Amino acid sequence: MLIGGHAVRGSAAMIHAVDPATGERLEPGFPGATPTDVGQACALAWAAFPAYRETGLEQRAAFLETIADEIVALGDALIERAMRESGLPRPRLEGERGRTCGQLRLFADVVRAGHFLDARIDPAMPDRQPLPRVDLRLRNIAIGPVAVFGASNFPLAFSVAGGDTASALAAGCPVVVKAHNAHPGTSAMIASAVRAAVARSGMPEGVFSMLYGAGNEIGTGLVADAHIKAVGFTGSRSGGLALMKVAAERREPIPVYAEMSSINPVILLPGALAARGEAIGQGFAAALQLGAGQFCTNPGLVLAIEGPDVAAFVKGATEGIEGASPQTMLTPGIHAAYEQGVASFAGHDGVSTVARGAEATGRYQASARLFATDGDRFLRDHALQAEIFGSASLLVRVKDAAALANVLEALEGQLTVSVHMEDSDRETVAQLLPTMEIKAGRLLVNGFGTGVEVSHAMVHGGPYPATSDGRTTSVGTLAIRRFLRPVCYQDMPQPLLPDALRDGNPLHLWRMTDGALSRD
């Protein structure tokens, strides 16, 4: 574990990763934290907060880049450990390392640009009638230390130094990570890289800590700690709801940014099916099985208007599913949940199995599934909206565009909604779009949600229960806003003002003056 600058050996129950390809228990074990460790890490984070949040933009940006450099410097040992702990293949993990470092470097750019400060100035109007106007200046400041929960399905990009950590550090918030039990060794290596970056960059040690914990106690204690001011989480709905409850019942309630569950509907319209139904089916099968379907944006629901060309989609999808090899899932627990979900759909009244992947040969391998049902049954039975985490999806055949709209309306909040269309479908899409906007954070045309670009215009979020807070995103540069709050300075003398708000704009920021943006 890492408590500030110190590598610490925990004294609570030991955590062992399991190699999901073999079922082998991996050494070494990582002993969990005690409540005292949680308190120490949070107190150190609080102690680091005043200095860290006021680091210069350049200094903070360089720190983020140094973390990326240190992660790269871990070399192949990182990839090898992550492969053993996650069962994910090398190219995927190498790509994910690139994404993790790219994310840190992109947030460095965000910090340098300074838009996130939202600097605003309303100059004094001493002669205004009937009352003079005071001088008002606004900037965002960091919200405080953030608790980040590592996610199982991105052992690098959404774990110890992943998106939540990068955006919180960029905002000026110290971070205390609760490592995911599925990849403790990978977490230890990444934590050591962050620790090295903290030291090299001369940051206060409490800027970063990482703890292990076998049960729920450490995570709950972290969210309950008075020094923690926000929470970042990616995982199950039950896990997210539990953290939301702890956060809401604190003496001082705090925001929880939990990215929880989404079945990411894919809408197939007649023009698209006629033009390239089979190809869409093949693309769907590929998206469904990417990473053994263990993505938040996995296409778990397909809505198709009944017609002759649906068969072409089914043909393409079936070929893509039956022709693929079974894949090892991340953990025995995730595998068991997947098997249970698949069994439940397979035995469901009015649900048929359209396609199934090759039988698993390894203990924790999963075989993909495409189920089918009709719109009326789907509407009647809320259980069919349940997320099966993994490469399983449900095709819902509806009789027309109106029925499709009804199904869409009945859905819970989602991360993504995709629509496959040709020009001839445009009117239908225009009619569906308002509902799509209300239901999801990202709307895709002729694509699948599984690729999540890390950029300025990305939204990886959506209405509840996709996330706990549909006003935010956990991927992309806008994610920094989760960890900021505005402060207004009234008639503050120049020497006391933060640089971002001083006359003459010494940081050369875009600022809003009396409502108008400029960089003067």
453 catalytic? Reply is no
Which part of the chain contacts its own copies (CB under 8 A), choosing from 77-85, 285-293, 299-307, 441-449? 441-449
Alpha helices in 201-265 (DSSP H): 217-224, 237-248
477 binds its own copies (CB under 8 A): yes
Q: Which of 313, 91, 51 is closest to 204 using CA atoms?
A: 51
Name the active-site residue from 85, 205, 259, 278: 259
Question: At its nearest, how many Å lie between its own copies and the CB of residue 28?
Answer: 35
127 binds its own copies (CB under 8 A): no
Cβ atoms of 146 and 232 within 8 Å: the answer is yes
141 binds its own copies (CB under 8 A): yes
Cβ atoms of 138 and 481 within 8 Å: the answer is no
- How many Cβ atoms sit within 10 Å of the Cβ of residue 29? 16
Distance CA 15, CA 219 (A): 15
- How many Cβ atoms sit within 10 Å of the Cβ of residue 310? 20
Phi, psi of 125, deg, nearest 5: -125, 85
Distance CA 500, CA 513 (A): 13
Q: Which of 167, 209, 468, 505 binds its own copies (CB under 8 A)?
A: 468
- Residues from 408 through 427 that contact its own copies (CB under 8 A): 413, 426
444 binds its own copies (CB under 8 A): yes
Cβ atoms of 284 and 302 within 8 Å: the answer is yes
Distance of CA 161 to the CA centre of its chain: 12
Q: Which of 131, 238, 349, 383 binds its own copies (CB under 8 A)?
A: 131
Q: Which of 246, 266, 235, 451 is closest to 337 using CA atoms?
A: 235
What's the token pair of residue 312?
Answer: 């072409």
Where does residue 308 rank: exposed (0-12), middle (13-18), buried (19+ CB within 10 A)?
Answer: exposed
Question: At its nearest, how many Å lie between its own copies and the CB of residue 200?
Answer: 25
431 binds its own copies (CB under 8 A): no
Question: At its nearest, how many Å lie between its own copies and the CB of residue 298?
Answer: 16
445 binds its own copies (CB under 8 A): yes
Report how far apart the first and last C-alpha atoms of the chain are (Å, whole number).
47
The smaller minimum CB distance to its own copies, of residues 180 and 482, is found at: 482
Contact track, its own copies, 194-233, x by CB under 8 A: ----------------------------------------
Which part of the chain contacts its own copies (CB under 8 A), choosing from 215-223, 360-368, 382-390, 484-492? 484-492
- Residues from 251 through 270 that contact its own copies (CB under 8 A): 252-253, 255
Cβ atoms of 421 and 436 within 8 Å: the answer is no
Which part of the chain contacts its own copies (CB under 8 A), choosing from 58-66, 145-153, 371-379, 459-467? 459-467
Question: At its nearest, how many Å lie between its own copies and the CB of residue 271?
Answer: 12
Q: Which of 61, 157, 244, 398 binds its own copies (CB under 8 A)?
A: 244
Q: Which of 6, 380, 399, 471 binds its own copies (CB under 8 A)?
A: 471
94 catalytic? Reply is no
Residues identified as active-site: 259, 296
